[in-house]
Structure 1
Amino acid sequence: YFGESGARIMSLQEPGRKMSKSDENTNAFISLLDDSKTIVKKFKRAVTDSDMAVYHNREEKPGVSNLMEIYSCATGKSLDDITREFDGKGYGDFKLAVGETVADTLLPVQNEYHRLLGEKAYLEQIMHVHAEKASQIAWKTLSKVRKKVGFVTV
């Protein structure tokens, strides 16, 4: 569950826009299957201002605020705690921490994805079972539609 601050993750390159996997700039978004090194690199390249102070203010510091919200979602820390944690530290330390934390957070999802990819028979069984269920539901729906429209079944 993501609270209000994590409900809408913004682009890493244009923090005024929503993060989108269809963005032409691959540095603007994190893919669930990006490897750890790529994730950290994308966060290091994230757009911020030249102030170097880590605090949350969407109007003055949209890039830093976006990174703080992402970090907050991944760690459960409050924005105030994050501000204190990085007080006196530069954006380099902050971006590295966000990147490593997000990479660590996504690792179990990635491991499970790769594990399931290796179990083709299991995936085919699931697809077959659910295709049967979908077919039964579709036939029931089609039967109801035919009755409503007045088609006679032979």
Structure 2
Amino acid sequence: MSCLRTSRYVSTAGLLTTTRAYTSPSSSIQELNRYDNLPSNSRVFSLIQPTGRIHLGNYLGAVKSWRTLSNSNPDSEFLFGIADLHAFTSYKPAAELKDNRYQAIASLLAGGLDTTKCTLYFQSSVPEHSELNWYLTCMTSMGQLNRMTQWKSKAQQSQNSSITDEKVMESTKAGVFCYPALQAADILLYRATHVPVGDDQSQHLELCRNIAKSFNNTYNVNYFPLPKTLLTPAKKILSLKNPEKKMSKSDPVQASCVYVTDSPEDIQLKIRKATTDSIQGAWSFDPVTRPGVSNLINIISGLTNESIEETVASIQHLKDHKSLKDYVAKLIIDEFHDKRQLYDELLKNRDYLDSVCKQGRDKARELASVNIGDIKSIVGMD
């Protein structure tokens, strides 16, 4: 599979060199069976929201994948960070937001991200994100944003809701409605070729590609590559108490969520109380009829790097639900043991966290400032 990165836009003696508009690749989704099969010279970009300490779903869905990708592909470039501008779409007291931002950085470092192999920074520390967001928002129709489904969830509206409904309009903040345009700006600012995201963000990546195509066609340039959605092996981790919904820090039932910072005793207790079923006999992966057991199998698969099929085969010796839960709890405890200790140490050293973020900011801005300069030249804002 060929790399999607295009040659840099060229500006010489005030004259812009343009090429034909970018055309879409045959597939916008790449599924990695192995972490080391990225095309050479790819640029991978992803952000995580600062919701404080990370939970098992965050770790398997983002942090572990980011670590493995950046460690396995030395000839590619990786930019990872904290989406604190996105976090501003819902109110948090200033002190809480600041603490959450530090906890998120500490979690990524404790999770094993190596800053010699990736750029790690706060989104808000690179103002080019906001500048490109404005240009792209002006090019994005209300209809495109209205068709996105996540703003409806965030605004606590039904999936049949429309922003044209007066009650919906009055109760929905503009930032919640428009944030997919900022998400596109985040990605396109660095001309990323691949974006690892969960299934729930695939719709936003398609919008991002549409915005990139619209920009390229409008200005008759070949500037933005069309980023591929990168589906990594980790699957969505569900609530331990209600495996019909995603594991989430906001869940009022705290036993539904395992955190990297949980003690071994807390992890054992939460897994022991996890919802399963009463089916006896061989273990099977069936999210419809056995959602609780399937969620535990997903967790094992994510921690051991085995496929679902391999995982199911490997647990057949476990004789009952207690044995399965004990096995899952031990895997999580072993995985998080060193990370929990490192996380605690990092949070006590904010000077070190500040130095990491400053280094990442400077690296990100070096690239962002060049690209925003090109973009301003293209649109006539130079």
Q: Structure 2 CA distance, aligned partners of 1:124 and 1:45? A: 39
Other-structure match for 1:125: 355
Higher relative helix content = 1
Corresponding residue for residue 275 of structure 2? 47
Q: Of 279, 287, 292, which residue of structure 2 is paired with 1:63?
A: 292
3-state DSSP of counterpart to 1:83: coil
Cα distance per residue 1:16-50 (max 9 Å; x no partner): 32323332222222122222211111111111123
TM-score by length of 2: 0.34
Match of 1:101 in 2: 331
1:121, distance to aligned residue in structure 2 (A): 3.0
Q: How far apart, CA to CA, are the structure 1 residues paired with 2:241 and 2:345?
A: 32
Match of 2:311 in 1: 78
- Following TM superposition, by how much is the alpha carbon of 1:12 offset from its aligned partner in structure 2, in angstroms? 1.0
Pairwise CA distance, 1:57: 4.0
* 1:60-89 C-alpha deviation (Å, 9 max, x unpaired): 3221222233234434563122122x12xx
Q: Structure 2: state its 5+ residue gaps.
A: 1-34, 36-59, 61-231
Question: Distance in 1 between the 2:374 and 2:252 partners?
Answer: 45
In structure 2, give the amino acid aligned to 1:21.
K
Q: Which residue of 2 aligns with 1:17?
A: 245
Contact persistence 1:69–1:79 (CA under 8 A): no
Change (3 A) 1:134 1:57: closer
Of structures 1 and 2, the one with the larger relative CO (CA 8 A, separation 6+) is 2
Distance 2:366 2:303 in 1: 41
Other structure's SS at 2:328 match? helix
Whichever of the two has the greater Rg, that structure is 1
Amino acid at match of 1:34: D
Q: Which amino acid aligns with 1:17?
A: K
* 1:30 and 2:258 aligned: yes
Match of 1:113 in 2: 343
| Residue ranges of structure 1 left out of the alignment (5+ in a row) | none
Shift of 1:56: 1.4
Return closer, same or farther for 1:138/1:14 CA change in 2, 3 Å cut-off: same
SS at match of 1:68: helix
The 10-residue stretch of structure 1 (100-109 or 112-121) with the greater mean CA deviation from structure 2: 112-121
2:297 and 2:311 in contact (8 A); partners too: no
Cα 1:54–1:95 shift into 2, 3 Å: farther
- What is the root-mean-square deviation of aligned Cα atoms in Å? 2.9
The DSSP-based 3-state class of the residue aligned with 2:277 is coil
Range moving further from structure 2, 128-137 or 107-116: 128-137
Using the size of structure 1 for normalisation, the TM-score is 0.74
Distance 1:53 1:102, change over 3 A: farther
Tell me whether 137-146 or 24-33 shows the greater mean CA deviation.
Answer: 137-146
Identity %: 28
SS of 2:237's equivalent?
coil
- For residues 254 and 343 of structure 2, what CA distance do their matches in structure 1 show? 21
Cα distance, 1:149–1:34 mapped onto 2, change above 3 Å: same
Distance of 1:61 and 1:44 partners within structure 2: 17
Contact 1:20 1:29 in 2 (8 A): yes
Structure 1 residues 99 and 141: CA distance shift in structure 2, 3 A: same
